[in-house]
Every structure is written in C-alpha cells, then in structure tokens.
Chain A
Amino acid sequence: KAGVTQTPRYLIKTRGQQVTLSCSPISGHRSVSWYQQTPGQGLQFLFEYFSETQRNKGNFPGRFSGRQFSNSRSEMNVSTLELGDSALYLCASRGGLDTGELFFGEGSRLTVL
C-alpha cells in the first residue's frame, strides 16, 4: 500500500512569490492534514480536510490556504511568501476524523530567499 506522497520534495522561492504544494494520501484515506515544521517549534497544525471540506484550521494567516479534491488529494498554497515561511511542510492522512493515528509524508522543504 503506497504511503502519503508529497510533491515537490524541495523548492526554492523568493519573497513575494506564491507556492503550491501537493499531497496524495494513502489510498482509502479521506482525511488530510497539513503541518509546518520549523526548528525548535515542533509541528504546527495548519488545517485538516475531510471529504473536500475544511474541518479545522490552525493559527496561520490567510496567506496559507488549502483545498481537497474529490479523490482526497490535497493542495496547500502560500501566497506572498515571507522569509519566515521557510520550513518543512508535512502532509498526513488518516482513515477517518476520529482515528488518532496520522500517517505522514516525507514533506516538502520550502526555502524562501
């Protein structure tokens, strides 16, 4: 069974640009969450989607947005990039909303110059 797949794995952008990251969950999983990991901050919750609906949102500015498609694949977008957005963006999927265990992808490493 294929795991969570994230693309691209690495990317470099400049301030003011925007970026779109993609995530394909484990087959059959309908819930997709996004987390941002920065050194010393652990993993910060961005948002969770289930059946194409955003179910939960973290404390990030409106520049961070996401969506989920009918096949459960998800994208997140960051507009007007800032230097502080440099981080590892992790996508995770789970079978249902109440199941505690998340299965993570390898992440997309974003560097903003």
Chain B
Amino acid sequence: DQQVKQNSPSLSVQEGRISILNCDYTNSMFDYFLWYKKYPAEGPTFLISISSIKDKNEDGRFTVFLNKSAKHLSLHIVPSQPGDSAVYFCAAKSNNQGGKLIFGQGTELSVKP
C-alpha cells in the first residue's frame, strides 16, 4: 500500500525554466510534508517542508504547494539550474506515527544547460 506516490520517475527541464515535481498521498492523517533531494552516493538532504495547516511555503527558488482536498503536493523550482539535477523524494508524517516518515519512490530531475 503506497501511501505516498510520485508517479513520474523522471523529469527533464531546460536550465532557467520551471521544474514542477508532483506527489500524491492517500492518508488524510498526514499533517506534515517534506521534500528531500538526493545526489548519487550521498544521503538525502532536506529541502523544504510544509505543515498541513498551510497551502504554500517558499524558500528562495523552491516553493511547495499543498492541496489537501486533492491530497496533492508539488515542488516548484524556479529558475532551474543544472546543479538541481538529482532525485527528489517527497515524504509525509502523521502525528499518530511518531517520527516515521513515509517516502514516495522519487523523481529524477535532469536540468539541461
């Protein structure tokens, strides 16, 4: 039972354009969502998060949008840079599961110069 889904395994974007990575979830108990970025041979690094009481959170070039009614969140990267090329994981947490994070399968973003 995949509670967090990233349906696009890969995405290719031109440098300077917008990258939009999508994530869907099924568990309405999730109250906190995070995005992680992972380079090969490295562990995932935290990028940005959003609480379920908000619908948008912005940090520099990165913005996360949450649509609770659709159980959908997205990560926007504007403008995209070649260094953003990595695998992006969305993750979700619910209050009644302690610190456990449920991760999606990941989307590999390639930003072409």
Taking Cβ atoms with an 8 Å cutoff, the residues of A that contact B are: 4, 31, 33, 35, 40-45, 48, 50, 55-56, 58, 90, 92, 94, 97-107
Residues of chain A within 8 A (CB-CB) of B105 are: 40-42
Neighbouring B residues of A104 by C-beta, 8 Å: 36, 43-45
Determine which of B44, B93, B97, B98 lies in contact with A90 in the assembled complex, contact meaning CB atoms within 8 Å: B44
B residues engaging A (CB < 8 A)? 4, 6, 9, 32, 34, 36, 41-46, 49, 89, 91, 93, 97-106
Can you spell out 11 A-B residue pairs with CB atoms less than 8 angstroms apart? A4-B43, A40-B105, A42-B104, A42-B105, A55-B98, A56-B98, A100-B32, A100-B93, A101-B34, A101-B49, A104-B43
Cβ-defined contact, A94 with B99, below 8 A: yes
The closest CB in chain B to the CB of A105 belongs to: B43
Q: Beyond the given A43-B44, A103-B46, A106-B42, could you list 13 further A-B residue pairs with CB under 8 A, ordered by the A residue number?
A: A4-B43, A33-B99, A42-B89, A45-B101, A56-B97, A56-B100, A97-B98, A97-B99, A98-B99, A100-B34, A100-B99, A101-B34, A102-B101
Q: Cα distance A27–B110 when bound, in Å?
A: 34
CA distance A101 to B45 in the complex (A): 10
* A94 to B41 CA separation, bound complex (whole angstroms): 21
Q: Considering the chains assembled together, what is the distance between the CA atoms of A101 and B97 in angstroms? A: 15
Bound together, the chains give a CA A105 to CA B38 distance in angstroms of 11
Instruction: List the A side residues contacting B103 at CB < 8 Å.
Output: 35, 42-45
**Chain A residues closer than 8 Å to B99, beta-carbon distance:** 31, 33, 48, 50, 55-56, 94, 97-100, 102
- What's the Cα separation between A50 and B100 when bound, in Å? 12
A4 to B45, CA, bound (A): 11
In the assembled complex, which residues on chain A have CB atoms less than 8 Å from the CB atom of B6?
A: 42
Residue of A nearest to B4 (CB): A42
Interface centre among B49, B93, B97, B101 (most CB of A within 10 A): B101
